[in-house]
Structure 1
Amino acid sequence: MNNKGILTWWASFAILVQVQIGIGILSLPRDVHNIAEGDGWISVLLAGLTIQLFVTVIWLLATRFNSETLYEFAPKLVGKYLGSLINLAYSVYFLSTVFLTTLLFTDILKRWVLFKTPHLVIYVLVIGVAYYLAKDNIKVIARFYTFTSGFVILLIFILVPALVSFDIRFVLPVGQAGMNNIVKGIEEVTNSMLGFELLLVLFPFIDERYRRYSIVLAANGFVTILYTLIVFITITVFSPAEIKLIPEPVLYMLKSFQFDLVERIDLLFMSVWFVSIVTTLVMYLYVASLGITTILKRKSHAPVVAWCALLIITVLFIAEKDIYGIDNYVRALSNSSYLFIFVLPLILLFLSFIRKERSK
């Protein structure tokens, strides 16, 4: 909490981009194609605009408390006890995201690479890496995000070989799915681009006070373009009948490419993609620990991070690991996410105007 206003515009941009690029990038082309068919790429663009609306609400709320995080200004708006309840709810939501992301990542890793490795070993390794970074302050974490921002560009270059084998006819005619289905696809895409809600906590740490909105706008725009590119390429490589049968079309598409130097480019993609998963886990774990630290009135968040990591590993170990159990977890978190990314920020923004509360 004492490191506010230390993130440069590039560090802020790198953090916001990498927390939005998550686990859903692999299955998103199939999921959105099942709803919007060849117009799935349009759903991605519209989802980017929708997310910018959510971000604007969060930004308007955060600018009224420039030097305070959600955990600090929520009790001022709704009272000490209700504010602590909201802080606890957000902390649990952030930890649930860490839980689900790790569960989904482990499931994919087990099916593609580590067939015989026990689940617990993967859980400990992944959460252990996240804990190692999340226990430090935001300045140290920002340096890691700045260093790994180059891997995001590498993701784009890995997809370049697909440009020689796509068939534009799979997305023609434009608008074939109908506006109703295109709009339905927005919800599917939005769930894959979550991460912007962390602004409720990270906003005061950004140094560029008068450029904060432009930084957020640029980060969301970059992720939207990246996701649109991935969805467009994937649905033009696979026929409409094929893509419905493939669980992770991005990996299957890359697996079909072979080069003299690199035979399994899909494994190279997963290695780079693992960095994006870790960056997402680190920031969610860090922000959740800040909330619990505030509620408990502790000075350091590092011990809380350790307890949160142990809790997540325990829950992962006893959780259902079959496809039906995972789908239930995904559905539950997706349904609750709108409460935390739009409904609660909108209510708090309304209360801040009614009660005329803001930072001095």
Structure 2
Amino acid sequence: MNNGQGGVEVKTGSPPKRLMFSSFLLFFVILANQVGTGLSGFQRIIFQSAGHDAWISVCMAGAWSHLTVWVMLRTLKLNPNMDLYEVHKDLYGRYVGGIINALIMLYMLTAVIVISRNYVEMVQTWIFPDLPTWLLSAFLAMLITYGVLGGIRIVVGIAFISAILTIWLIIFLYFPIRYAEWTHLTPIMEASISELAQGMVKMSLTIVGFEILMFVYPFIRNKHRAPLSAHLGLFATTVIYVAVMLVTIVYFSPGQLSKTVWATFSLFKIVAFPFLERFEYVAISIWMLVVLPNLMMYMWAASKGIKRIFGWKQKYALYTFALILVVVSIFFKTRLQINILNDIFSKAALTIVFGYPWVLYAAVLFKQHFHKKREGI
């Protein structure tokens, strides 16, 4: 059905008002979904490609994200009451659209597994080395299920609360800055363009998460304000990553940084108070509030996919996916296995998040042009 602006829609009705949320909350949705387990150890990976100019690669990745969100918003503006699943069904047809939707749903479910397993490994490495993987995975699965059953407004509310309760952790970057060697940043632009580009690609895999915009957009009340909130969320995320990257470079020597897996939590190791000696234990515990919105958003989008594709009730898909999360997590036991999982997901994320939106926008424009031509406009 033509939407009057040349776009094509399967349906024109917006979601019930009780399910919709204010556009300013999109800022927290983007922020919460981008800042997750990746923030705990992205520095070493980017540093290996771009050296002490790694912070420039982070800035470049942030700019790339803004361009990608811009094209996402252009697509969504043509179909304001449709999520990505519905756009696919309308654009490609029931069967081809269903196959693509199944792949997107699988990506969302894989994101839940990857984030969950990385957080469990973090807890096992730093706090409880003998903690069974299935136990913490089951605990996370129960929290995710409980939150998603409340609906999109509850999940968005948790993203808001998570951002408010965890943003103060940035203050503790002051402690390593006191021992900074600012000469580690010089000479600026020593890395070649290709090295900076490699760092940008690797960083892009760390800051994925804003693709959730393609699923929550129909539930935003004041859609004309959504672009501002989305881009502000992206900008805030980029600032956080750049700040953490800069502090890491000036604190660690190049040799140390190239070998430090959990650089962010290693920075927290020097934070000490008279009443608290191991602050990194507190940070890792609080980090659950950081990853929880990630997990809930992706799980909500994945279970929504089952409803869109097969017409099942979303809660049954949710229970099934929660069980899959616990079972699959058990099979990834070693760091090597987790790295393989991360690498596979990263390659898929690069294509789906940063490449596919441009293809989708071109396809939507082509269909729009075709409908105009057929109607003689």
Q: What amino acid is aligned across from residue 217 of structure 1 in structure 2?
A: H
Partner residue in 1 for 2:275:
261
3-state SS of 1:290 partner: helix
Task: Please point out which of 199, 223, 242 is paired with 1:228.
Answer: 242
Letter aligned with residue 84 of structure 1? G
The match for 2:10 is none
**Structure 1 runs, 4 residues or longer, greater than 6 Å off:** none
Distance 1:208 1:255 in 2: 43
Q: Tell me the residue number matched to 1:306.
A: 319
After TM superposition, the structure 1 = structure 2 runs for residues 42-81 of structure 1, keeping only pairs within 5 Å, are 42-81=56-95
Aligned length: 356
1:344 deviates by 3.0
Do structure 1's residue 14 and structure 2's residue 28 form an aligned pair? yes
The answer to whether 1:248 aligns with 2:259 is no
- Residue deviations 1:160-194, cap 9 Å, x none? 22221111011111112222211210011111111
In structure 2, the CA distance between the partners of 1:40 and 1:2, relative to structure 1 (3 Å rule), is: same
- Cα distance, 1:44 vs. partner? 0.6
Counterpart-to-counterpart distance in 2, 1:133 and 1:90? 22
TM-superposed CA distance for 1:119, in Å, is: 1.0
The correspondence for 2:204, drawn from 190, 196, 213, is: 190
**Bigger CA drift: 148-157 or 132-141?**
148-157
| Residues 155 and 273 in structure 1, CA contact (< 8 A), matched pair in contact too | no
Query: What CA distance in whole angstroms lies between the structure 1 residues aligned with 2:153 and 2:348?
Result: 31
Is 1:349 the counterpart of 2:361? The answer is: yes
Task: Give the superposition deviation at 1:146.
Answer: 2.1
Residue 55 of structure 2, aligned match among 41, 44, 56: 41
Of residues 158, 161, 172, the one that matches 1:144 is: 158
1:340 to 347, 352, 358: 352
Greater displacement, 270-279 / 338-347: 338-347
> 1 CA distance for matches of 2:71 and 2:24?
23
Question: Hey, what's the Cα distance between the residues in 1 that align with 2:290 and 2:143?
Answer: 13
Q: Does 1:97 align with 2:111?
A: yes
Aligned ranges for residues 153-192 of structure 1 at < 5 Å?
A: 153-192=167-206
User: Please, what TM-score do these two structures have when normalized by structure 1?
Assistant: 0.95
- The equivalent residue for 1:117 is 131
- Where 1:9 maps in the other structure, the secondary structure is coil
Deviates more, 1:252-261 or 1:281-290: 252-261
Q: Cα distance, 1:151 vs. partner?
A: 2.4
Residues 95-149 of structure 1: CA distance to partner in whole angstroms, max 9, x if unpaired? Answer: 0011111111111111101111111111101121111101221112222222222
Question: How far apart in 1 are the matches of 2:226 and 2:24?
Answer: 11
> Could you say which residue in structure 1 is the equivalent of 2:3?
none
- 1:31 alignment counterpart: 45
Instruction: Say if 1:57 and 1:342, in contact at 8 Å, map to a contact too.
Output: no
Alignment RMSD (CA, Å)? 1.7
Q: Does the Cα contact within 8 Å between 2:114 and 2:342 map onto a contact in 1?
A: yes
Larger Rg: 2
The farther-off stretch of 305-314 and 335-344 is 335-344
Distance in 2, matches of 1:284 and 1:3, equals: 21
Contact 1:158 1:269 in 2 (8 A): no
- Output the amino acid matched with 1:158: F
Q: Secondary structure at the match of 1:338?
A: helix
Judge which range, 302-311 or 4-13, deviates more.
4-13
* Corresponding letter in the other structure for 1:43: S
Amino acid at match of 2:208: L
Deviations 1:307-326 (A, max 9, x none): 11111211112x23212211
How far has the Cα of 1:333 moved from its partner? 0.9
Q: CA deviation at 1:346?
A: 2.2
8 Å CA contact 1:77–1:348 kept in 2: the answer is no
What residue identity is the alignment partner of 2:335? Answer: I
Q: How far is 1:3 from its partner?
A: 4.2
2:44 is aligned with what amino acid?
Answer: R
Aligned partner letter, 1:129: L
The secondary structure found in structure 1 opposite 2:322 is helix
Q: Cα gap change, 1:334/1:3 in structure 2, threshold over 3 Å: closer, same or farther?
A: farther
Q: Residue type of the partner of 2:159?
A: Y
Q: TM-score, with normalisation over the residues of structure 2?
A: 0.90
Q: For residues 229-253 of structure 1, what are the alpha-carbon distances to aligned partners after superposition, in whole Å with 9 as ceiling and x for unaligned?
A: 0011011111111111211111112
